[in-house]
Structure 1
Amino acid sequence: MTEQMVDERAAGDPSGRPDRRGLLVGLLAVLLAVLLAGHRVVPNVHGLGSLVDSVTPLLGLGVPPLALAALLRRSRRALLAVLLPAVVWAALFGGAWLPPAAGTGPSSIRVASQNLRSGNPDPAATVDALAGAGADLIGLQEVDDGDRVDVALGQRYPHRAAVSTVALWSRWPIRDSVGVDTGLGWDRALRAVVAAPQGDLVVYVVHLGSARAGHTVTRDETLAALAAKVRDDHASRLVVLGDLNTATTDRVFAPLTRLLNDAQADAGQGFGFTWPAELPVTRPDHVLYRGLTPTAAGVLHTPDSDHRAVTASFRW
């Protein structure tokens, strides 16, 4: 028996069969890497593609248990295979955890957006937390008790625009506001022109259609309608605040990301998940912008809402 044959037998079991320890772990690792890299090619049938897109950042959670399984199986090949999804995930999302290059310098304006939650038992406490964070503009969705919110914010934010269940409170005068049709059959978005000290700023406050498992058509149509409105809006400085009911990793978000930048991606750190509030696993709430320079972005855990709030600061 040659030395090479002895080595091959040593690599397997005593009977000389190939070593299959960790084979399943290695296959799962490769499949995970393929899903991470190719999530956009998953057919978007009944919203499946959108769902996979939205949870893709969470797929990295599969790497540690696969690595542990490879170690328990004492399989070097499986452990090497687990490196593949780890590298793919880091290439796709690792940059979100690096210090933001844009998050420097003084700010001219700070904005916040919050889905209050319909039936919120104490909306005043929720919005008081937003005001305490120093926001100049507060966009709200699911406002079904505007009077209590107005009492809480009125002295600090004397200017308000509202349409159905969305509203904007501002420290500065609101020059004009109109409802925005996103195809729901009723306006659940508004466009306002805020007379900020540095000049006019167009602000959209938006609550897009809901998405449910197997049914994303309404959400997709409202997102496309919003993108069309923004595309036709020639304002040089523009901000979109709202619950868009999808994550920026979702393929249907592309029409908006071609028109606007994401404050969290440019000036925040981490994924900025907002829902559900107690243990957020996705980010349906957004601050999108153009014509401004972001200096900071983050998430605020407010009381009595099922969403966390999103915040962003900009300079002119």
Structure 2
Amino acid sequence: MTEGVIDERTTDASHGRGDRRGLLVCLLAGLLAALLAGHRAIPNVHGFGSLVDSATPLLGLGVPPLALAAALRRSRRALAAVLLPAVVWAALYGGAWLPPAAGAGPAAIRVASQNLRSGNPDPAATVAPLAGSGADLIALQEVDEEDRVDAALRGRYPHQATVSTVALWSRWPIRDSAGVDTGLGWTRALRAVVAAPGGDLVVYVVHLGSARAGHTATRDETLTALAATVRDDHAPRLVVLGDLNTAATDRVFVPLTRLLHDAQADAGQGFGFTWPAQLPVTRPDHVLYRGLTPTAAGVLRTPDSDHRAVTAGFRW
């Protein structure tokens, strides 16, 4: 009789611990779901909100450990709770992995953009895959050895526009080009009019201000300035190529997304992360557009840079 009482108490205690453990998983799952759904409600103090926004797609990595913890504790309640952040993440970002809904068919215009990395030991090797991709326009940032890059591209891309450390190489004539002030204190963006076979295409090559944890004010100001410039530009067909130092999920990116479409979101598959090149966890490099129909978008691994390149195809 005594043994039966002891066993019952032991079982009750074990169930109590199991419930508490299951409750912890439920709590963590609820917090993860709330963070995914409400990350933009976090105050953007010293850029913290932007940092969380940019990292939000990676928060889905928290779901498998929580599911495993719930399974190990044999808690149905915890397993059910883990479904909540999984569903929220899928609703927010699952569509990025579906086949793109953008227009199919051959591209009339192919573009590529690459941050070369200042001090790149072999920029010619970095740009070679871009030319090999069949791009008609190649936008580069952090160009500090222009002669070496030009020697690698000039044969296929006879037309060039350069301002400071940003440059555009084109298969087609460039009718006009000028620097663009983004409020950085020195010009690190350009606007060019390319005489493409289907008509004029306005191309911006941009490298916005840097952003680091706790220091995003300069980046934010340059993005606002770029959005204002694009808003005032009435060209019917326009693309923005470059390192914007901003993830598409960042709240400060909204002024641009109100004006332009994102080629990766419309015609790519996956998040298209580009930085750091060895194991990318975010996408500061972008192809934005209006007045065109995207046919494809992707990411290209290149040597000797800390960024991967971004590519896109369009038809008129």
Helix, strand or coil for the counterpart of 1:13? helix
Q: Give 3-state SS (helix, strand or coil) of 1:21's partner.
A: helix
1:218 aligns with 2:234: no
Compute the displacement of 1:17 (Å): 5.3
Rounded to whole Å, the distance in 1 between the matches of 2:15 and 2:78 is: 20
Q: Percent identity between the aligned chains?
A: 86
1:20 positional shift: 2.3
Q: Structure 2 CA distance, aligned partners of 1:84 and 1:143?
A: 46
- Asked whether the 8 Å contact 1:194–1:200 carries over to 2, the reply is yes
| 8 Å Cα contact 2:103/2:293 also seen in 1 | no
What is the Cα deviation at residue 74 of structure 1? 1.2
2:167 maps to 167
- Mark the CA change 1:16 to 1:283 in structure 2 (over 3 Å): closer, same or farther: closer
Offset, 1:15: 8.5
Q: Structure 2 vs 1, CA of residues 122 and 14 (structure 1 numbering), >3 Å: closer, same or farther?
A: closer
CA distance in 2 between partners of 1:297 and 1:227 (Å): 22
SS in 1 for 2:147: helix
What are the residue-to-residue correspondences of 1:272-291 with 2, within 5 Å?
272-291=272-291
Residues 114 and 309 in structure 1, CA contact (< 8 A), matched pair in contact too: yes
Cα deviation, residue 21, structure 1: 3.2
Which position in structure 1 is the counterpart of 2:56? 56
Match in the other structure for 2:5: none
Deviation, 1:22, is 1.4
Deviation at 1:128, TM superposition (A): 0.8
> 1:63–1:86: 8 Å Cα contact kept in structure 2?
yes
CA shift, 1:260, in A, is 0.1
CA distance in 1, matches of 2:103, 2:112: 16
Query: How far off is 1:105 after superposition?
Result: 1.1
5+ residue gaps, structure 1, are 1-8
Shift of 1:101: 1.0
Amino acid at match of 2:212: R
Alignment correspondent of 1:156: 156
Corresponding residue for residue 191 of structure 1: 191
1:1-316 correspondence runs (5 A): 13=12, 19-316=19-316
What is the TM-score with the length of structure 1 in the denominator? 0.95
Structure 1 residue 256: Cα displacement: 0.2
Write out per-residue CA displacement over residues 222-266 of structure 1, whole angstroms, 9 at most, x where no aligned residue.
000000000000000000000000101000000000000000000
Q: 2:4 maps to what in 1?
A: none
| Structure-2 change in CA distance of 1:149 and 1:13 (3 Å) | same
The Cα RMSD (Å) is 1.4
1:141-194 per-residue CA deviation (whole Å, 9 max, x = no partner) reads: 000000000000001000000000000000000000000000011110000000
CA deviation profile, 1:252-302 (whole Å, cap 9, x unmatched): 000000000000000000000000001000000000000000000000000
CA contact (8 A) 1:103 1:268 kept: no
The structural deviation recorded for 1:28 is 0.5
Q: Which amino acid aligns with 1:246?
A: T
Report if the CA contact (8 A) 1:21-1:74 is conserved: no
2:40 & 2:125 partners in 1: Cα distance? 40
User: In the superposition, relative to structure 1, how do residues 75 and 162 fare at CA in structure 2: closer, same or farther (>3 Å)?
Assistant: same
Give the count of matched residue pairs.
307
Question: Per the alignment, do residues 27 and 144 of structure 1 end up closer, same or farther by CA in structure 2, a change over 3 Å counting?
Answer: same
For the structure 1 residues 204 and 20, does the alpha-carbon distance in structure 2 shift closer, same or farther, using more than 3 Å as the test?
same
